[in-house]
Structure 1
Amino acid sequence: MNDEDGQRLPPAHDSLAFGARATVPATIFALSITGGITVKPREGRTILFGRNRLDVHVCLGETDRRVSRQQGVVFHQDGRWWVRNTGRLPVRLPGSRMLFTDEQSLPLAAGYTPLFVRGSKGREHLLELFVTGEDGRLPGTRHNDPTQPPRTWKLQEDERLALTVLGQRYLLHEAFPRPLSWEQTAELLDELQPEAGWTAKQVAHKVTAVRNRLSREGVPGLTREEVGEPVGNTLNDNLIKELVLSTTLIPPDLARLDRGQGYITNQIAM
């Protein structure tokens, strides 16, 4: 390929996870274990990546026939860099976002973005991308700045209790946690609060209200339209993961279940 618009990066180049510097803002760096390229921004510029070293700018998975000869392209359009999948295998981005063949291109944010292509025998081929910021430099170090806490979500007391029961497997750090069913959750809540008259319908209503509230605040993956059919437990799984990752729900919340802890443990094992 013609590299006149870019500068080659050697295979021994440091991982782009450590960052990259350039004199021109929005310069992109692309790197695999075989080397890479850095390109300044200009409308229409492209970086091809894939297995066929002779036909791409960055060779990826050259010994793995599962990887397409031209697996994808990174291109500059409308003032920013985008990535498109042109191969047969999906490309995995952070957050388990899968980019499939001929799917709509995704924009790249400033900073580091790793792309993965899963080849034969479970091999993972990594393409590292880094887009420099507005001043073309790395973000400054902030060693002594106060730690910025995660955004937590406000829950009513009955919502917190219902979600703690629903998502207790996540708080117990099980290997492959799944939410309890509405019926299981209602039964356990009724054991904890027999005077409240919990029902499966009441649990579903409260949890759905929390999902809708967080979705309006911009949390992804909480509506049927986003995840598609069949939905199964996906919406509740995404909700509980958000609540746990944001530290809205934490393992000490399990203390709320002490009254019926033995019963809850037995129910989980069934």
Structure 2
Amino acid sequence: MNVVARVEGPGELPRGKPWNLPGALVVRTVAGAAAAAPVEGARVRFGRGRPEDPDKPADVTVGADDKKISRQHGLLVHRQGWWYLSNTGKLPIEVGGYVLRGDGESVPLRAGVTSVLITTPAGRHHVVELFVNGGDGALPPPLFGQHTAPGHVWPLSDRERLVLTVLGQEYLRNNPHAQPIARNQAATQLAELRPEDDWNVRKMDRVVEAVRLRLSRKGVFGLVEADLPQPIGNLLSHNLLTELIVRTPSLTRSDLMVLEDDG
């Protein structure tokens, strides 16, 4: 199914359908925007190409002057009630702290705004903003005159901070391909750091689950199975660590000092 609405250049989006439909997708770059209704099979493509290109068209242009950006670099498809993003280009796509490669993998998008980043070897950063309309069908209004909101920090107990620092040490070290370390490895490291606490995988999992559920009740999306389509894999832990490290400074590099503690 083709995109049903498109605008060129920066500026405010037009009012009316499909922009304001609940579940609709809006894709925005500095070059323009496109939207598609939440219909099975609907798709939006973004990249260096243009809509009228006969070979590899892109519904939204990004990186028009950068040959490192593929003409079709990303694809969004609506299926079974979700919008899925996949990488169809040559460079990786970073979405929500997750690195998406052109290997057929796709990630589901939550309601609200998701920023996508494509970084070239020369250090250029190209941003694509994805917006999935929530149930009210309302696009976020401009907030030109509003004061900047202060950053939020989630409170963590010393025990929770220790477990999550061990589990998320790759994120704290700014590894560009960060993933939670293996649960067995994390439990072993915890046992070495704090042998008096008799750590094991089950005890560690209970601590992580308690934090996930607490933040989920506070409105953080993607921390419980009901938020995500199957298969989930390690997305629950990834989303939790992304929330605590990337989106909020609840865990910082200074927390890595605990890994040097001999206990």
TM-score bracket for the superposition, by shorter chain length: 0.5 to 0.7
1:34 Cα deviation (Å)? Answer: 1.3
Give the 3-state SS of the residue equivalent to 1:122 in structure 2.
coil
Instruction: Classify 1:208/1:64 alpha carbon distance in 2 versus 1 (closer, same or farther; 3 Å).
Output: same
Q: 1:261 aligns to what?
A: none
1:104 Cα deviation (Å)? Answer: 2.5
- What TM-score does the superposition give when structure 1 sets the normalisation length? 0.56
Q: 2:41 aligns to what?
A: 44
Q: 2:185 aligns to what?
A: none
Residue 94 (structure 2) pairs with residue 92 (structure 1) = yes
1:10 Cα deviation (Å)? Answer: 2.6
* C-alpha distance after superposition, 1:178-200 (max 9, x if no partner): xxxxxxx99xxxxxxxxxxxx75
Is the 1:21–1:132 contact (alpha carbons within 8 Å) kept by the matching residues of 2? no
* C-alpha distance after superposition, 1:154-196 (max 9, x if no partner): 55xxx48x949x97xxxxxxx969xxxxxxx99xxxxxxxxxx
Q: 2:205 aligns to what?
A: 212
User: Which residue identity is paired with 1:84?
Assistant: S
Q: 2:28 aligns to what?
A: 31
Q: 1:78 aligns to what?
A: 80
Instruction: Classify 1:204/1:126 alpha carbon distance in 2 versus 1 (closer, same or farther; 3 Å).
Output: farther
1:21 Cα deviation (Å)? Answer: 9.0
Largest Rg, 1 or 2: 1
Identity of aligned residues (%): 26
Q: 2:64 aligns to what?
A: 62
1:211 Cα deviation (Å)? Answer: 3.6
Alignment of 1:244-259 (within 5 A): none
Aligned pairs, number? 201
Instruction: Classify 1:73/1:209 alpha carbon distance in 2 versus 1 (closer, same or farther; 3 Å).
Output: same
Q: For 1:87 and 1:176, how far apart are their aligned partners in 2? A: 27
1:212 Cα deviation (Å)? Answer: 2.5
Is the 2:47–2:69 contact (alpha carbons within 8 Å) kept by the matching residues of 1? yes
1:226 Cα deviation (Å)? Answer: 4.5
Is the 1:152–1:246 contact (alpha carbons within 8 Å) kept by the matching residues of 2? no
* C-alpha distance after superposition, 1:40-84 (max 9, x if no partner): 221111111111222110112122122112111011111221111
Alignment of 1:108-147 (within 5 A): 108-138=109-139
Q: For 2:119 and 2:196, how far apart are their aligned partners in 1? A: 40
Instruction: Classify 1:63/1:208 alpha carbon distance in 2 versus 1 (closer, same or farther; 3 Å).
Output: same
Give the 3-state SS of the residue equivalent to 1:73 in structure 2.
strand
User: Which residue identity is paired with 1:48?
Assistant: R
Instruction: Classify 1:247/1:203 alpha carbon distance in 2 versus 1 (closer, same or farther; 3 Å).
Output: farther
Residue 8 (structure 2) pairs with residue 10 (structure 1) = yes
Runs of 5+ consecutive residues of structure 1 not aligned to the other structure = 168-174, 178-184, 187-198, 228-234, 254-263
User: Which residue identity is paired with 1:126?
Assistant: V
* C-alpha distance after superposition, 1:114-170 (max 9, x if no partner): 1111124110111111111112114799x9xxx9x8664555xxx48x949x97xxx
- What TM-score does the superposition give when structure 2 sets the normalisation length? 0.57
